[in-house]
Amino acid sequence: MDDIALIEATLAGNVEAFGELVRKYQHALVASARHLTRSRDDAEDLAQDACVDAYRNLRTLHDHGKFRAWLFGILRHKCLTYLNARRPQHLSLEEFADSLPAPPVDDGAEVAALLDALPLAQREILAARYVQELSYEEMADTLHTNVNAVRVRVFRARERLRALFAARRAEGGVAC
């Protein structure tokens, strides 16, 4: 079943249909939250909270075709609220994000280290594009901006990541 059919079944009282939606997006939600919070445990909690909120507010979603972007928007809001609550008052959000320890990674340690070196806003936009696999239109809806602004943010984040990769490679820190 596609998302629209699962949403309609959920709204008709079939709780298991929403369970299918959760299973469909669970991995991407946790991965996305982990990129933002840098904590596996917190990411799992935030992803679960986002799913609970989505279930409670499903009737407010007017365009069922935009469920995915809406769900990741809920997660984004939860992650940013979480980070703001943990942020010391004298640091900017980007300074705080840069001060957090890197998450433990099993694979792609070099890539994870490069991503961790990016400011939060750039990690967020790359996670939306490549972890959540949101389209530019879905990202614009989630971020409450226009598609061109999203394209620029993705371009700048990729450019920054390329520059970090080149610098790390010049130092001999990343194998090709």
Distance CA 49, CA 54 (A): 8
Largest CA distance in the chain: 58
Q: How many CB atoms lie within 10 A of CB 79?
A: 25
What would the two tokens of residue 176 be? 């090709």
Q: How many CB atoms lie within 10 A of CB 4?
A: 12
Q: What is the pLDDT of residue 173?
A: 54
Distance CA 172, CA 163 (A): 14
Kindly tell me the burial class for residue 56, based on how many C-beta atoms sit within 10 Å of its own C-beta (0-12, 13-18, 19 or more).
exposed
Domains plus CATH for the chain?
Answer: 3-171 (1.10.1740.10)
Answer yes or no: are the C-beta atoms of 128 and 120 closer than 8 Å: no
3-state secondary structure of 143: helix
Q: What is the pLDDT of residue 104?
A: 45
Distance CA 60, CA 74 (A): 13
Nearest-CA neighbor of 77 among 31, 107, 108, 46? 46
What would the two tokens of residue 98 be? 């840069």
The C-alpha angle with vertex 34 and arms to 160 and 63, in degrees rounded to 5, equals 90
- The pTM for the full model equals 0.61
Residue by residue, pLDDT tens for the chain (176 residues) are: 899 999 999 999 999 999 999 999 999 999 889 888 888 889 999 999 999 999 999 999 999 999 999 999 999 999 989 988 876 545 455 554 554 444 444 445 666 777 778 888 888 888 888 777 888 888 888 888 899 999 999 899 888 988 888 887 777 655 54
Answer yes or no: are the C-beta atoms of 70 and 62 closer than 8 Å: no
